[in-house]
Amino acid sequence: MKRVFLFVVTNLAILLVLGIVLSILMPVLGLDSQSNSGLLFICAVFGMGGSFISLAMSKMIAKRAVGAHVIENPSNRSETWLVQTVHRQAELAGIGMPEVAIYDSPEINAFATGMNRNNALVAVSTGLLKNMSSEEAEAVLGHEVSHVANGDMVTLTLIQGVLNTFVFFFARIIASVISRGNNSRMFYFMTVMAFQALFGVLASIIVMWFSRQREFRADSGGANLAGKEKMIAALKRLQGDREESQLDGKLIAFGISGKRGVSRLFMSHPPLEERIAALQAS
């Protein structure tokens, strides 16, 4: 319920902000919402703007969504080890020290998010701390730090924003053509929604393909920061985890493990056996 509330409130806030931006910029730029150029601009503002505002708010939303506790002053040996390991890996990767957090979940998982390389968040589940050795956990942290160092959050946000823009634009262009001669606004609206859903599915396939490629790269980065054998051992440990993931939305793409049981086209992560094989062959 909390996640649904956060999702609704966040999206309403984004729509409000972008609506205000459009009301200011459209007259200044002399754009007409009825023209193709005006429509494309509106779609770009909502497509790109929505994605980047979500990214800017991602740390705050992520911490609230999973109930993550940020470690400001380590209170035990485990927290001290976590902070020291992330600090060391961040220095090796050439990025600013991320916030380090723990969230309560039985799954073996971790995620990274944030607007830029020097202002990120790395969070691990209690399940990971309980079920992984320090060597395996070190590799997982290296994987997440590599996501930050590679700029994966910004890259996928940019790709998503561009695709959103064209999904919105072409859905409305096609709906206008189909609705020509039909004065029903409801027919136009339903046509837009139908094509937006169709193109949205196609866009998701593209985004997920890019996400899977970034996972291979993050695995390689984790191997460089912690050691290849540790990274392989961590991925093998994940193969035995059967807990339901607590991550959703964009957080899934930056976890060490993604959701199972979905079509490969819509998987944010490659199968673990492929990731292990890629590391073994490197």
User: Starting from the edge strand earliest in sequence, which strands make up the sheet with 110-114, in order?
Assistant: 69-70, 99-103, 120-125, 110-114
Cβ contacts of 157 within 8 Å, gap of 6 or more: 51, 52, 54, 55
Strands 120-125 and 110-114: antiparallel
Alpha-carbon distance values, 173 to 37, 51, 178, 193, 198 (Å)? 12, 22, 9, 12, 14
144 flagged as catalytic = yes
- Considering all CA atoms of the chain, what is the largest pairwise distance in Å, rounded to the nearest integer? 71
Half-sphere CA count of 257, side-chain side, radius 13 A: 28
107's tokens: 């799954």
Half-sphere CA count of 69, side-chain side, radius 13 A: 12
> What is the DSSP secondary-structure string of 221-259?
HHHHHH-HHHHHHHHHHHHT--SPP---GGGGGGBSS--
Residue 258 has a CB neighbour count (10 Å cut-off) of 23
Q: Which of 136, 144, 243, 244 is labelled catalytic?
A: 144
Cβ contacts of 241 within 8 Å, gap of 6 or more: 107, 108, 127, 131, 257
The catalytic residues are 144
